[in-house]
Amino acid sequence: MHSDTVQVVAVAGEVDPEPGLVLDGEPLVARRIRLKNWRNAVGKDHTSTRPAQSAGGSINPSGGSVRAGGWALVATASLEPGEHVIAAGQQRVRVFAVRPNGGRAAPAGWPVFRPHPPAPVPGQSGACSACHEMTEAAAGPELSEPQMPDACFSCHTQDNFELIHAHRVEVLTACQMCHESHGGTAPSLLTDSAEILCAGCHE
Of the listed ranges 4-8, 116-120, 122-126, the one predicted with least confidence? 122-126
Q: Which domain holds residue 51?
A: 5-145
Q: What is the mean pLDDT of residues 36-57?
A: 49
At residue 34 the predicted structure's pLDDT band, cuts being 50, 70 and 90, is confident
Is residue 183 situated within a structural domain?
no
Is residue 52 situated within a structural domain?
yes
CA 101/CA 69 separation, integer angstroms: 42
This prediction's pTM: 0.71
CA 187/CA 184 separation, integer angstroms: 8
Is residue 161 situated within a structural domain?
no
Tens-digit pLDDT profile for residues 136-158: 888 778 888 888 888 888 888 88
Is residue 154 situated within a structural domain?
no
Neighbours of 7 (CB within 10 A): 25
3-state secondary structure 67-85: CCCCEEEEEEEECCCEEEE
Q: Which residues pair with 112 in a beta bridge?
A: 53
The structural domain count of the chain equals 1
Is residue 190 situated within a structural domain?
no
Give the angle 6-11-14 at the CA atoms, nearest 5°: 150
Name the nearest CA neighbour of 74 among 124, 10, 118. 10
The per-residue b/e assignment along 154-175, b for 16 or more CB within 10 angstroms, e otherwise, is: eeeeeeebeeeeeeeeeebeeb
190 has pLDDT over 80: yes
Is residue 159 situated within a structural domain?
no
pLDDT confidence of residue 66: 56
Tens-digit pLDDT profile for residues 79-98: 888 899 998 878 888 888 88
List Cβ neighbours of 59 (8 Å cut-off, separation of 6 or more): 6, 7, 8, 9, 52, 86, 93, 95, 113, 183
Q: Which runs of consecutive H residues, i.e. helices, occur in 41-182?
A: 150-153, 158-164
CA 153/CA 162 separation, integer angstroms: 12
At residue 123 the predicted structure's pLDDT band, cuts being 50, 70 and 90, is very low
Is residue 202 situated within a structural domain?
no
Output the average pLDDT for the chain. Answer: 75
Is residue 160 situated within a structural domain?
no
CA 18/CA 32 separation, integer angstroms: 11
